[in-house]
Each structure stands twice: as structure tokens, then as C-alpha cells.
Amino acid sequence: MNHRLHDLGQRLRSGETSAEALADEALAAAGAPDGEGGRVFISLYTDKARAMARASDMLRKAGIVRSPLEGIPISIKDLFDVAGETTRAGSVALDDAPAAARDATVVSRLVAAGAVLIGRTNMTEFAFSGLGLNPHYGTPLNPYDRAGRRIPGGSSSGAAVSVTDGMAAAAVGTDTGGSVRIPAALCGLVGFKPTAARVPQDGTLPLSHSLDSIGPIACSVACCALLDSVLADTPFDMPEAPPLPGLRLAVPTTLVLDGMDKTVAATFRSALDRLSQAGVRITELAVPEFAALAAINAKGGFAAAEAWHWHRALIEKAGSRYDPRVLMRICRGADITAADYLDLLAARAAWIAAVERRMEPFDALVMPTVPVVAPRIADLEDDAAFGATNLLILRNPTLINFLDGCALSIPCHAAGEAPVGLMLAGKRGSDRRIIASGLAVEAALAAAA
């Protein structure tokens, strides 16, 4: 099932397969007794997916193809409203919440495009961690090292594993501090975080409305571009990859290369060497604003302040049902004053302006998505280790959310090696430029592998 969306579309058009057959394959993978499906899905749409697939096949026979996603199985994160269902956000604290009255806009767009929804994927509770651990529904294991029981990355943990394990051809997740790009990087997939305003967020349970965005996880940059076009309701024309000679990439020397393990350091350096040999102009760039972000967010930042605003009534009612590690992070927001929040807004505006000026001469920033390979779950049982690892894994992606930018995570490791993601990032509104650059970078890395 790990086919490119384009390949699946060709197979459907030629009659080699059907939407119902693809749905059956995905559901079989999700239901395999020795597989990860029980930890990947919070709700599996067994009957609904087959009904959607049969409807897609009937429309295709009548000559009606609603989009390039027609008949293709897609998973959705458990943050999106689906009419008649309770949105739990990976928690049990919302078990008694009323069912959604209508679909989230992104769900409506997927359905209108003819995608076959396979189910709602597991996640870090309320999306508040980059590791992907969930004490309520279990933690899907990273496909790279199941025996070692490594994390999948989060918060869109089930989303990534649904794709690696053939339970969906692609997935839709959210990204507040890397929650699409981190699991993509750690699981060897491509993840795209768009400019936040690009995809409507109504009907999506928020973490931080200042930082949240909605994006795809898939097997290639082209797959992410196609799914993004549906989510953003833009034309399906694929951006043209620019020539590699002359592509200008800046490697920040501030913060983002700190703390790399040996595998990530060697893999990232090798990727840069391959791109340079292909003609890409790579420049090192000091970005002192990156080092200042920790101080700006010292009191918890937008995530803590805005999460506390949303959760405070629910915590009073059902706080004992929260994952304690998530609850602790949300409750930091209780001490953030209105003046602190206004200071944060002003600091962000100045920070964005300064970083964008430094980025101006370049097509994109390039950095490791995550500075370490996926750690073992057993190594995160201690709260101190959990906290330090979570901050390290979130560090680089979070910079781009604070920038209100867009970014791709692209695999840059050799086959059989631990997955490592290379992140291409641009300023807000440069989504198509980043996707186009990503197509070129992806091709160069594949050619040199």
C-alpha cells in the first residue's frame, strides 16, 4: 500500500484495481492481529470506508472523477470533527462530550474530493508533545525498529504509522510545533507544514490558535503537494521543480545543529554534500534570533497560554483523566498574565521580521528536522528524560511555527538506516516555492543514494 498517490491514481484509472480493493487492503493492514492497527487507530471506519469506496467506484464507472484523490484511502488525525462523532483528541477526558454537528472543513474537502476515509488516528493527548506517547490508547511503534520499541514521533503518531504500514496511502495531521514533520522524519516519510492560514482550521480541536496548522504526511513531496491542494482548496497543478544549479539554501549555524547524534550529523552532512555536488548553493547563516526564542517562550509561550484558555474548564471537570505529562504543560499557562501575552505578541512580530530579513537572499533554510534518531520508549519513562527529549525533538520544527512559515521534512537517509529528516523551510506564504524546491531536493537525494 505504500504507493505514491499518482501511482494509485493510475491503477484506478486503468482498472487494475478499485477503490474497494484499496480500502480492503488498508483495512486488512489495520486489522492484522500482529500489526500496529490497534494502537494506530482510535476509530477504524470499517463499514464507512467500504461504503465510500463503493460509491467512488460507481462514480468512476459513470465517468465522474472528483479529484486526483478519488478512491484513495486517507487517514485523519483524531483532532478533526466528523459529524455524529465525538472528537477525543487522543484523550479520555472528552468521552462524554457531545458529537460534532458537522464535519471540519478539511474533512468536508477530503470527502468532496472522493478520498476514502479509513479512520481516526491516535496521537499524543491534545497534541501536546512531539514524542507520540499515549497512555490511554497505546503508542504505535516506529516501523524502523519495532523490536527496540522506538517512538513514532508526535503528536501525529498514528498518522505516520498508518502510512508506513499500508493502512492508508497518506494521512492528514496537525502541526503546532512539528507534529506533522517530526513523525514524518522519524518514520522515513515526507511531511508538509503549510503556512497556518493556508488551510482552514474550523472544526479542529485547537492546541494553540497562534501556531496550529494542518498538513499531510505521505511517501513523497508530490504526494504531500497533491493532498495539500485538496486541504487548501487550490488547483491541482504541481509546482515545477527549479534547476538544482543556483538553488540557494541557507544552513543556520545557530542552535539547529546543536545536540545532533552521530547518525543525524553524518546523514545530514552527507545530504548537504550530495546537494552541493548537484549544483545547489549552500551557505552557512548565523540566525541569532533562533537562540533568543527560548527566552521569549520562557513562561510557556503561546502553546501554554492558549491551551490553558481552552482547557481550563475541562481540567476543572476531568483533570484527573489527563495524561499527567500533558496536564503539567497545559497548566503552565495559568500563570501567564494578559501583559505577558501582549509582550509575546509583540516579541513574535519583531522576531519574525528579523528572521525574514535574514532569509531574504535564499530560497529556503535547510536543517535537520530532528537532531536525533527516534529514541526507545523505555528511555523516556523518567520524567526528566521525557522532558529533555521532548524539548530537543520539538526545537527545530518549533522555530518555523513561531515564524508562521512553511516547511517540508524530506527523508535523507540511505535505505535500511535509521530515518533522518532534512527540513526545507520558508517564510509565510512561500508554500509553493518550498514544495517546488522540495521536489528538486528530493530528486537529487534519490539520484545520489
**Sheet containing 41-44, strands listed edge to edge, beginning at the edge strand earlier in sequence:** 41-44, 116-121, 73-77, 170-174, 214-218, 190-193, 406-411, 421-426, 364-368, 248-252, 281-285
* C-alpha Rg value of the chain to the nearest Å: 21
What's the helix, strand, coil split of the chain in %, to 5?
A: 45, 15, 40
Q: What is the DSSP letter of 411?
A: E
| Furthest CA-CA distance within the chain | 62
Give me the average pLDDT of each 10-residue run along the chain (449 residues).
80 98 98 98 98 98 98 98 98 98 98 98 98 98 97 98 98 98 98 98 98 98 98 95 96 98 98 97 98 98 98 98 98 98 98 98 98 98 97 98 98 97 98 98 87
Q: Report, as residue numbers or ranges, the catalytic residues.
A: 77, 155, 179
Report d(CA 17, CA 24) in Å as an integer. 11
Report d(CA 393, CA 411) in Å as an integer. 16
pTM confidence score: 0.98
Q: Do 367 and 425 touch, CB atoms closer than 8 A?
A: yes
Residue with cell 521580521: 353
Q: Say what the pLDDT of residue 332 is.
A: 97
Q: Say what the pLDDT of residue 98 is.
A: 97
**Domains delineated in the chain:** 5-232 (3.90.1300.10)
Q: Say what the pLDDT of residue 1 is.
A: 38
Q: Is 202 exposed, middle or buried (0-12, 13-18, 19+ CB in 10 A)?
A: exposed
Residue pLDDT, tens place only, 383-408 = 999 999 999 999 999 999 999 999 99
Report d(CA 150, CA 144) in Å as an integer. 8
Q: Say what the pLDDT of residue 447 is.
A: 80
Nine cell digits for residue 34? 500482529
- Per cent of the chain over pLDDT 70 is 99
- Quick one: which of 120, 224, 136 has its CA closest to 180? 224
Q: Say what the pLDDT of residue 359 is.
A: 98
Question: Pairing state of beta strands 214-218 and 170-174?
Answer: antiparallel
* Residues 6+ away with beta carbon under 8 Å from 169: 1, 2, 3, 5, 8, 22, 26, 72, 73, 74, 163, 218, 219, 223
Residue 407 parent element (H or E): strand 406-411
Nine cell digits for residue 449? 543514494
E strands, 166-305, are 170-174, 190-193, 214-218, 248-252, 281-285
Report d(CA 104, CA 173) in Å as an integer. 13
Q: Say what the pLDDT of residue 119 is.
A: 98
